[in-house]
Amino acid sequence: MSVFSRLNLSPRVQENALRGTVIAAVSLASFLSFSVQPLVGKLLLPTQGGAASTWLGTMLYFQIALLLGYGWAVWLLQRRALVQVGATAALGLVAMLASRLGWAQTSEWTGVGGIVGTLSVASLPAMVLLFSTSPLLHGWLGRQNKSVPYHLYAISNAGSLLAVVLYPFTVERSIPVSDQVFYWQGILGVFVGLIGVAGFLFLRTAGADQRPEPATEKISVGQVGFWLGLSALACVGMLGATHHIAAEIGSSPLSWVGPFGLFLLSFMVTFSGVWQPRYTQLCLGWLAVSLTGFMLTKGVSPSTVDGWVAFWVFSLSASGSFFANGLLHQTRPQQRFAAFYLVLAVGGVVGGLFASFAAPIFFLRPSELLAVSCVLLVVGLLRLSTQRDPITVGVVTAIALSPVLGLVLTQSRDEAAGMENVRRFRNVYGYSMLKTDQNGLILSSETTTHGTQITTNADTRRQTTLYYTESSGIGRVIAETQKQKSATTTAVVGLGAGTLAAYARPTDAMDFWDIDPKAIQLARDHFTFINDSPGRIRLLETDGRKGLETTTTDYDLIVIDAFTGDAVPPHLLTREALGIYSKRLEKRHGLLAIHVSSRYQTLFPVIAATANTLGLHAMRVVTDIAHTTESKDWDCTSSQYILVGRAEQIHEALAWLPAEEDDGRVRRTVNIHDPLPPGQAVIWTDERNAALDALNLKNYLHGK
């Protein structure tokens, strides 16, 4: 006699218990599946580096797992109830026993294939189980209610949204990575138990031998194509919006929370059960207004994505997501929900792969969000019209896109004014723009300038510029180091235009590390700092932290000059990373210089507190140069560096950096770190680091 028989529970009570258990299981599955994605990124970075293969391999793995999970659910839903429950229970047991996320930190497999293989060994059974939960349990409730409970899709995305929002604001800041792994695997065990209860209740209410009723609903190829296209467009738009945000605050869970959170919110709202077709029409108007706002503030111009521009980026991404998912809700099938979800998953994969691999080929500048929004606007207007003849299509397209195209042409013309040549380069690592004018070259990543060179003659092209001039913090450090030693060896993480190579003497050696092959090609083929340098220059294509960890070379100076957009990647600044640099500087009594000229990051307190844990001291040097002289500080700008070394080294460096030079032409602000009381300082380690720790939100919101 079963527990339910002894308790004499009615079928209605059992059905309600099943419904409640399913809702809890679906929510928890989504929370687990979306909280683990930034977690594995954290696990992989120290060993795999910040290369494109790390991010692409991680993304590809989760897309493969999603398809496997949905495919597994579709297959199971055609089986008898007992088979469904038994197979799910077996997979749950395997997932619990086989999950070992921590192995991702020690795996030596590299490249995209190595990342996919590593994560598959670490978590594939668990991810297939988690991703299959929503469509599978849709089927269980559908058999009970004889209708498709699409509200579960909203509940599922609510769990995903909670994970996406909590991670950068709470989890990343307060829980070490190893503890996150422990908690995640513990909650996975709770989930497996929960889905076991759901399976038991399902068998009680449905019967072990019950087979699914054959679906009579027909799905046309056109419907499949429409669902696939909308799903892919929404995904590409979301990733395009993320690109704009990451260009300012760096690629991290924090840069994803806005666009991805709104993307998930749109699923949650449109499939909540209260969505009406008129709401989709309202979203079309919202999309048109947002597209106008985006074009007036950003569009294809290189303007900075500050708080106001970010508002329009979020609005455009949200309106596109709500409109696309509103149409998906309107055209959803009444019976064939499993096929519908599978098509949406395939669309997400197609969109993700397009954004990562195809977009850099088709769009030489980050225009995916703009392109997707235009397509969705035209789709919406065509659906509102009753005619589909070529003339109507042409007129509607012209009406929808003429203002946008006009602004695109205007912005492009204004941008090119005064420039003899503008060349654009893009790959999986990001976007670069090379401008050539009558004075020289400017290398930028749309909103942040990474290097310049004056090319009017052979003498001027050897002049250091921008953040690297003679009076800058790094310029003074290099000059004083060279005074003390007749031959120096310097390591530079981040290449840019290769400007620092101009400082190398014939007796000096410089090693540059950069993960982007396009960056190395640009520095070699278009700038001449590397080729003109009399020193021994090596360009090494790898993550700088990994390179310094594996090299046996000792250095007099290490310069961290790596930026993702306008932010320094956190994995280059953790206690473990500083320990690697310190080891390479120890024998030659060298100094570490970190370039932190960022609009929206305040890194000095974090870096200084982290250095203190290694017995090192830190000093911040902010240099403002009023104008160029005939011999130095060409094309100068404000710069900020943090020097890290032993106490005596920092004291010595303080004498190199007077507060004022040349009758006020050069002004410096030098700060020595004053340690905070224990427990108040923010310390970055491989176990705990968060972009929000260093984000200057006030500057970002006000565009300073």
Element (H, E) at 320: helix 307-330
Amino acid at 143: R
- The residue ranges of the chain whose pLDDT is under 70 are 1-9, 52, 143-148, 207-215, 386-388, 414-420, 677-679, 703-704
pLDDT value at position 1?
A: 42
pLDDT value at position 548?
A: 96
Q: Alpha-carbon Rg of the chain, whole angstroms? A: 28
pLDDT value at position 216?
A: 72
pLDDT value at position 4?
A: 47
In DSSP terms, 667 is beta-bridged to 624, 660
User: How far apart are alpha carbons 606 and 575 in whole angstroms?
Assistant: 10
Q: Residues, the chain, total?
A: 704
Q: How far is CA 532 from CA 170, 458, 460, 466, 468, in A?
A: 49, 9, 12, 18, 17
pLDDT value at position 204?
A: 82
Quick: pLDDT tens for 344-362: 999 998 998 898 888 888 8
Quick: pLDDT tens for 56-85: 788 889 989 999 999 999 999 888 889 999
Q: 467-702 belongs to which homologous superfamily?
A: Vaccinia Virus protein VP39 (3.40.50.150)
pLDDT value at position 209?
A: 60
User: How far apart are alpha carbons 654 and 652 in whole angstroms?
Assistant: 5
pLDDT value at position 427?
A: 78
pLDDT value at position 615?
A: 94
Question: What pTM, to 2 d.p., does this model score?
Answer: 0.90
- Under CATH, to which class is 1-213 assigned? mainly alpha
Q: Where are the domains of the chain?
A: 1-213, 220-255+271-417, 467-702
